[in-house]
Amino acid sequence: MPDQRPSRTVVIALGGNAITAEDQLGTHEEMLANCMEMAWAICDLVEKGWRVVIAHGNGPQVGNISLQQTAAEPDVPAQPMGSLVAMTQGWLGGLIELSLRNLGGPDFPTVVTVVTHVLVDLDDPGFANPTKPIGHFYTRLVAQEKELLGWQIIEDSGRGYRRVVASPQPIAILEAEAIGSLVDNGFLVIAAGGGGIPIAGDSGSLAGVDAVVDKDRAAALLASQLQADALVLVTAVDTVLLDFGTPTQRALEEVGAEEMRGHLRDGQFPPGSMGPKVESSLRYLQDCDGMAVITSVGMLVSALDDAVRAGTRITRSAARVS
């Protein structure tokens, strides 16, 4: 029996690496199994009365499609990165939808995936400095071979080398009003997949952009436009850690936005790992008096339970460091 308290809206950002783990090939069976695991937590939230909007990443998957595009030329013309993002929206949205429908039961909300466009600025510095990793990890030798294809390659967090593409800041989500209407009418919505399809221009002349928008930033923007009560950014760890990897490492449990902003300024959260999640949380809290949570899939439900208060919970007000 669903919780009878007034409904609250949460936007949840799931990582593409949660759909295809680092040690997996990315087969249909692997991805569907991973989506089923995430769906259990989503079903629990719906049971507790939450109205849910799901955003998801696509780093490994869009990288795989990019490899397929390159391998198929010249027989099949390669498509721009924005089009590949659109492909992953349908592909991964369908897997998440299928998982939720199979687990949700007859009283579960109707699930719908919305093709989502995100407006970006062509003058964004992200175009001059590509930072968004996509695709597989490579050895140094293979990475050098990929650079001959015109790819930009970086060393990624000590785990190997990956291709990076432009990742501009999202300005607006074009379908936000439609998504809000769906949520208000009881639908569970999957939107802003892969960060959204990046476009630029004005209402009279819009065009796709060769880039990938960070899914956490897109989720934060969507949560702001929907005036959601909570934003949850799912990652591999249960809580955000200060002084990561040092003897003074400690968990942040409940923290105010201003304190979190100070830790960000102090360099506690690198741009290639926790930085975008913290920035996205703070951006959401500028527009909404809600709660931003950074935690793992396993702690997702308890993180939104006020009696448990798991994960790292960030609010506008000051709070303690655990």
Asked if 308 and 271 sit in the same domain, the reply is yes
Asked if 215 and 261 sit in the same domain, the reply is no
By residue range, what is the domain housing residue 183?
9-39+49-117+174-228
33 domain-assigned: yes
How many separate domains does the chain show? Answer: 2
| DSSP-assigned letters across all residues of 187-237 | -EEE-SGGG-EEEEEETTEEEE-S----HHHHHHHHHHHHT-SEEEEE-SS
20 domain-assigned: yes
* CATH number for position 17: 3.40.1160.10
pLDDT above 70 coverage of the chain, percent: 95
Asked if 202 and 68 sit in the same domain, the reply is yes
pLDDT surpasses 90 at 322: no
Domain boundary (193, 228, 263) is at: 228
For residues 150 and 293, the model is more confident at 293
Asked if 266 and 180 sit in the same domain, the reply is no
Mean pLDDT of the region 60-84: 88
| DSSP-assigned letters across all residues of 148-178 | TTT-EEEE-TTS-EEEEE--PPP-EETTHHH
Of 15, 34, 193, 277, the active-site residue reads 277
Domain boundary (228, 248, 265) is at: 228
Mean pLDDT of the region 5-27: 85
Residue 4 to residue 199: CA distance in whole angstroms: 40
The string of pLDDT tens digits covering residues 237-264 is 899 999 988 999 999 999 999 999 999 9
Residue 115 to residue 212: CA distance in whole angstroms: 15
Of 57, 63, 126, 132, the active-site residue reads 132
Asked if 283 and 257 sit in the same domain, the reply is yes
Q: Assess whether 146 carries a catalytic annotation.
A: no
Q: Return the structure tokens found at 98.
A: 């299928």
pLDDT surpasses 50 at 4: no
Asked if 211 and 277 sit in the same domain, the reply is no
Mean pLDDT check: name the lowest of 42-56, 152-166, 244-258, 268-282: 152-166
Of 64, 215, 290, 311, the active-site residue reads 215
For residues 135 and 130, the model is more confident at 130
- Where would I find the H helices in the chain? 16-19, 28-47, 59-72, 81-104, 140-147, 176-184, 215-226, 257-265, 275-287, 300-303
Asked if 321 and 241 sit in the same domain, the reply is yes
Q: Assess whether 16 carries a catalytic annotation.
A: yes
Query: What's the pTM value of the predicted model, to 2 decimals?
Result: 0.89
Mean pLDDT of the region 14-27: 86
Q: Using CB atoms within 10 A of its CB, is residue 33 exposed (0-12), middle (13-18) or buried (19+)?
A: middle
Asked if 259 and 194 sit in the same domain, the reply is no
Asked if 210 and 248 sit in the same domain, the reply is no
pLDDT at position 266: 93
Of 188, 194, 231, 232, the C-alpha closest to 214 is 194
Asked if 183 and 287 sit in the same domain, the reply is no
Q: Assess whether 58 carries a catalytic annotation.
A: no
194 domain-assigned: yes
208 domain-assigned: yes
Token pair 């990624």 in the structure block, residue: 156
Of 17, 26, 94, 275, the active-site residue reads 17
The C-alpha torsion from 237 through 241 and 244 to 245, rounded to 10°, is: -60
Q: Using CB atoms within 10 A of its CB, is residue 306 exposed (0-12), middle (13-18) or buried (19+)?
A: exposed
Radius of gyration of the chain (CA): 19
| Cβ(116)–Cβ(193) below 8 Å | yes
